[in-house]
Structure 1
């Protein structure tokens, strides 16, 4: 009977009809049953709170892992981007034109001739490939070629030593800086001496000979400066070279054999814009480099 009454109180009177319909519990039993329900609900609340707290903790753990993975992804993307830029190399920027040009092979190098010197300039990343002698076609030969720097240690393939007129001919070059006839601005002590030269490697740089200047433009480094020189105006031309202002003689020679000749170059006003350029003034030159 007591069990039936308890079930009636917990489940409601309708659950166990007709036994529960006519049952009227006393006040003690009613309060006792209500108290049991409150205890049960409190325990249920406690259990539910603990389960929710555990799930929240799991969510925090998962969220922390997701944030870590996202940061790892961003760091990896930045590192990949840096490596790609290093592999591609930056586009070159010319200080002369102030414009971005097409990309150049990273750390490419260039060579130039240091005319009048047996060594290369003492400039960072510039080294000598070889030293030699300036040479070219004879000043009176119309078929002569441009000035070149022949090495001091030549090698031959098959050859004969017959003087054959059916050849292009090569002669050593001499300074034509005689005083007082031509009133040279410099190098008068080198007149009729043979001209040395050296070929220089500018590592990681590109080089440029600028005629008519003694200094480089902004962003460029001076390799050396000197005087513009070329063949006499009535002789067969060979182009122009930049002769070092501190030029030397090749082995002290002064035989005056007059093969390829090198004269100072001076301006003549007219089509040459003056007064920027000066009538009769010997033109300077400078060889410049820029790191790429």
Structure 2
């Protein structure tokens, strides 16, 4: 059996041996789910999703139907995990954004006193694991309202979503609301990731290099790199990182205090960077595919074959 997590930007697969593969798969550009899964054709599969929210769909319901049909075209026996904590054969409203719950369902027995922090390319899930029943049925709207979902990630978050102004040579400077740069540029410039870890398109479709990142970040204050210089652009990157770091840390702190958790466990491509910030520890060998690992394990445990 394989595990599949269909996000809006990435398709993650755990194969029969437990190895993870991450495909950049932007649904809003008509990414070929069937082609990407063709090498697994006919295998048993357990699936979670969050890509139904992509704005190429008129509603989450339409997105769910599309994803289920694409998956079943190549994996006809696939089973889909929902926010009701159950597996389904076909489209169901509960399938919307159930990937985080699969992770919680899998980890709750081994980490009952923990808060899970899963930082991906786009979002950060903050999930108290001590009361699984209280998590059932939570939509992304409810998770946003409860502080369990922060729309900030390692790669794809826009700069004005994190800061509205930065200091340049001691002068408070508003940032442009244009999509000139993203957090991948921040973390690349600061050395938190390498060019090979810049696993999405750059906003300008330009080179995913440190030089490219510096140029894009300068543009967030309507400047050229040569106009303000590398030192000031690095300063912009640091200010954005500090604001993002504090946002995530504050959300985790609130979840720990509210749930009485005794530890924080971290997963996702941002785990290495954020675990020390929140006083947590990384879950081993889970990389950026925890929900795919989890849904596969749950299906095997529950006999969903």
TM-score bucket of the superposed structures, by smaller chain: under 0.3
- Structure with max Cα Rg: 1
Q: Please give the TM-score of this superposition, normalised by the length of structure 1.
A: 0.23
Query: Greater strand percent: which structure?
Result: 1
Say which structure is richer in helix. 2
